[in-house]
């Protein structure tokens, strides 16, 4: 093994670039090992960022209709879940280590009942910022879905949460992306 000069050694304080690989949150330390870091967004332009994420909550036959009509044992299911999802979106940087704290401009949680005893949970986030809001949308949808489970588990423990996914994002360097345009990776 040959020893490289100090100038050619990777340094954790140096920003990673394309030569460091596809992951912007990974850099190299003095020994050349991969280390994690929070991406520096200081030089990025502030742009409008939006994201839409979805989670599915699947119920045993008849349970979804029952809890939506009668309410759950803990109260109004979708309203409590909506508030939980909004709160979670606002706290994303506290839970996902490499996410930047964002002052969200908007968080909307919507619910749609579907055949097959499935509840679609949608979370849409928006911000004017230097970094995207995909994780905020995904966390909002996830926590809203978990809250639906919590609100309904006394009725039936067999409720499932499935397919938490990003459906669409816009803004930033990568521009607009839609799951339906990405080869069908989003669940239906």
Q: Hey, which residues are catalytic here? A: 150
| Secondary structure (H, E, C), 81-109 | HHHHHHHHHHCHHHHCCCCCCCCCCEEEE
- 53 close to 141: Cβ distance less than 8 angstroms: yes
79: Cα within 13 Å, side-chain hemisphere: 5
**Number of neighbouring beta carbons within 10 Å of residue 40:** 11
Contacts of 33 (CB under 8 A, 6+ apart): none
Using CA atoms, how far apart are residues 127 and 146, in angstroms rounded to an integer?
24
- Among 188, 183, 174, smallest CA distance to 51 is for 174
Strand ranges (E), 116-159 = 118-129
- Among 132, 140, 73, smallest CA distance to 111 is for 140
């Amino acid at each position: 093994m040959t020893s490289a000069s100090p100038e050619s050694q990777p340094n954790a304080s140096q920003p990673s670039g394309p030569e460091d690989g596809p992951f912007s949150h990974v850099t190299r330390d003095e020994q050349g090992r991969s280390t994690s870091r929070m991406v520096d967004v200081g030089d990025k332009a502030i742009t409008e960022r939006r994201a839409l994420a979805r989670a599915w909550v699947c119920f045993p036959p008849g349970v979804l209709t029952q809890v939506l009509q009668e309410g759950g044992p803990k109260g109004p299911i979708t309203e409590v879940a909506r508030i939980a999802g909004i709160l979670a979106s606002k706290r994303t940087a506290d839970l996902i280590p490499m996410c930047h704290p964002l002052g969200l401009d908007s968080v909307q949680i919507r619910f749609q009942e579907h055949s097959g005893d499935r509840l679609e949970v949608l979370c849409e986030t928006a911000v004017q910022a230097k970094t995207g809001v995909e994780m905020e949308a995904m966390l909002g949808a996830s926590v809203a879905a978990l809250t639906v489970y919590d609100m309904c588990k006394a009725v039936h423990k067999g409720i499932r949460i499935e397919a938490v996914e990003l459906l669409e994002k816009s803004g930033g360097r990568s521009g607009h992306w839609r799951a339906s345009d990405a080869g069908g990776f989003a669940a239906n």
